[in-house]
Chains A and B, each alone.
Chain A
């Protein structure tokens, strides 16, 4: 992927049924506007979700789930820009606010009310940091929306291929500690009839994957270990069949870690959305 050169080539894509996006057309807000429609939900795809090959699979899974549940949604497509999260965390508030204001202008023009994101960083930024700049929306992480859809009976999931499998959830910092959401992803794992197992550091005490705070885009500072290796060891200690993630960056970090530990043939790293989509054979 896009991170450290050293790791780039090692990234493998875990085998996944990918039926492609041929079955339905994901519309943009511009398409909808031209057709005189106002979609209920804006699906904020994010940069990784748009460009990273691995993350695109997560994006597609989310889109398929939304489609399956008959959610009226659209994306911004080429009108979407980075939320500015890595810029803000790197200390470049100027760039952050420029990105934010542009995005807010676009979203307000489309009268966006509700947003679902495929990435906890986008989620946090849109939900918490945009209001001060004039962007007020109801923002949900995809695991929260999927949980809602199931609760409302708009989507049903059964275990499918994950029934009885040992699945652990790696809490993304910006979903868990950052915004206090620990339950939605776990509820979804339980819906799969899977055996939810916790790593020794989980929930409030979960260990970062190492990508946050703009670390994803740089070499780590000098130390004696990579953070993702340390985190992967937590997962290896409980030997799950799947490490479930809720963030494209965590996904990369954990995939790298599992690959480095030469365990990718036994442990899969998958986003919750992928698990749900696969179980529902979408």
Chain B
């Protein structure tokens, strides 16, 4: 009974903490301005199924993709087991679903195999990050916290999966000894190899081990859910809405600024009929997170910090300061900062995303090549943010590299980026 109460209390505390954090994240995302959704829902679902559920873009890097698939499947499927654990905990039962018969043993067997694959995946990933030191995990923006974040997650997953396997091994021995409650699940594929290590223990010790692992597993999962919201691991949830809302039009197409359209129309023809776009922003371009759209902010929270974008970025690969991953990490960090200031009633306009986080030099290194958007496994668009920040620099602050100003003046005066006369455009036909 006491165990049940403790369990329910823990569940409550974990749920509450997670809920609070998720509200915080949601509020932060909705800090962004609203944006019209183009295209139809069917295409959006399609993208989501292909990219998020089907891991479609992961497989351009097959090795990482296979091990990631282990973790992904493990995460999704082993959670079915968590349902049983929660029900057991609340109801004071043991292995509630065992009653369903032989299927149960098969399921647990399958979970064990997945758990084992998850462990293999995590070990491989730890090695890739810490021993092989794959370059994209060690760029400038991968400071202490992002690095530890990745390692914490991997180690926690190994610990959780090991607890699950050890719990089953202890259970098998206890069942064989005929100890009450404990159920016979047959020969389990992975935990049977742990059994010999536990054979020497007394029944009392085994019960303690089994119970410890059970509590460790569920508390670990609760803690993990709360931790998730502070971590790049939010992608396991947000990858789904993020791909759903990702852009459907060709990557080369940049958004049209309707607030500019109206001004230009009136400039060209003062009597022109213009329709006010209710969603048109006040500013031209973005200076801070609130000027970005909520989809762009959702992008930032969905970033897994994998660095695939940065590893294909021509600017980054030739030693420039720009890193598309950093664009996303900065946006997220600034969003969290603004969110906290808002909660505490503090002023936050003394800083901004543009300038304090992302600099002129970074923005102006971008070739708008879309390599980053193509590479991103969850359809994040760093280029969109870069362009919005450039727009602010250009249109609100009149800041641009000198040669760019010259180029723009030429376009304005001669209809070409160079100082040639427009009248000569057709000269080639006579040469």
Please report A residues at the B interface, Cβ cutoff 8 Å: 2, 20-21, 25-26, 28, 45, 47, 49-51, 56, 59-60, 63, 75-78, 80-82, 84, 86-95, 97-99, 101-102, 124, 127-129, 132-133, 173-174, 177-180, 204-205, 207-208, 210-227, 229-231
Contact = CB atoms under 8 A, between A and B. Distances in A.
B226 interface: no
B200 interface: no
B253 A124 contact: yes
Given A47-B417, A82-B415, A90 B264 contact: no
Contacts of A128: 249-250, 252-253
A52 to B, nearest CB: 8
Nearest to B362: A221
Nearest to A100: B264
Contact of B417 (A28, A77, A86, A127): A86
30 contacts: A21-B431, A51-B416, A59-B428, A77-B426, A78-B424, A82-B411, A82-B416, A89-B368, A90-B404, A92-B391, A93-B260, A101-B268, A124-B250, A128-B252, A129-B256, A133-B256, A173-B367, A177-B374, A178-B370, A204-B374, A207-B312, A214-B407, A217-B417, A220-B320, A222-B319, A223-B315, A223-B319, A223-B365, A227-B315, A230-B317
Given A212-B369, A219-B403, 4 more contacts: A21-B430, A93-B395, A129-B253, A217-B417
A21 B429 contact: yes
A75 B426 CA distance: 8
A56 B143 CA distance: 49
Contact of A208 (B268, B314, B428): B314
B318 A225 contact: yes
Interface string B274-302: 00000000001100000000000000000
A25 B430 CA distance: 8
Contacts of B319: 222-225
Contact of A95 (B254, B411, B429): B411
A97 B431 CA distance: 32
Given A47-B418, A174-B252, A89 B387 contact: yes
Which 8 interchain pairs have the tightest Cβ spacing?
Answer: A178-B252, A213-B368, A224-B319, A81-B415, A91-B390, A77-B426, A91-B394, A223-B319
Given A91-B400, A97-B264, A63 B415 contact: no
Contacts of A221: 315, 320-322, 361, 364-365
Contacts of A91: 285, 387, 390-395, 400
A231 to B, nearest CB: 8
A187 B325 CA distance: 35
Contact of B411 (A26, A84, A222): A84
A133 B425 CA distance: 24
Nearest to A59: B428
Contacts of A229: 318
B265 interface: yes
Contacts of A76: 425
B251 interface: yes
Given A87-B411, A221-B320, A26 B418 contact: no
Interface residues of B, number: 69
Contact of B416 (A47, A92, A129, A213): A47
A56 B404 contact: no
A127 B249 CA distance: 11
Contacts of A47: 415-418
A50 B419 CA distance: 12
A84 to B, nearest CB: 7
B42 interface: no
A229 B317 CA distance: 11
A177 B403 contact: no
Interface string B402-413: 011011100110
Q: Output the residue of B267, B319, B392, B429 with the most chain A CB within 10 A.
A: B429
A230 B411 contact: no
A45 B418 CA distance: 15
A43 B93 CA distance: 77
A14 B93 CA distance: 82
B261 interface: yes
A97 to B, nearest CB: 4
A86 B315 CA distance: 18
B431 A45 contact: no
A179 B251 CA distance: 7
Nearest to A205: B312
A219 B401 contact: yes
B199 interface: no
A186 B396 CA distance: 43
A99 to B, nearest CB: 7
A90 B252 contact: no
B260 A222 contact: no
B357 to A, nearest CB: 17
B422 interface: yes
A92 to B, nearest CB: 5
B428 A21 contact: yes
A217 B415 contact: no
A177 B322 CA distance: 20
B250 A178 contact: yes
Contacts of B321: 221-223
Nearest to B420: A51
Nearest to B389: A91
Given A50-B428, A86-B411, A173 B320 contact: no
Which of B252, B261, B265 has the most chain A CB within a 10 Å cutoff?
Answer: B252
Given A82-B415, A177-B371, A94 B318 contact: no
A162 to B, nearest CB: 24
A88 B254 contact: yes
B249 to A, nearest CB: 7
Interface string B55-95: 00000100000000000000000000000000000000000
Contacts of B254: 88-89, 129
A227 to B, nearest CB: 5
B176 interface: no
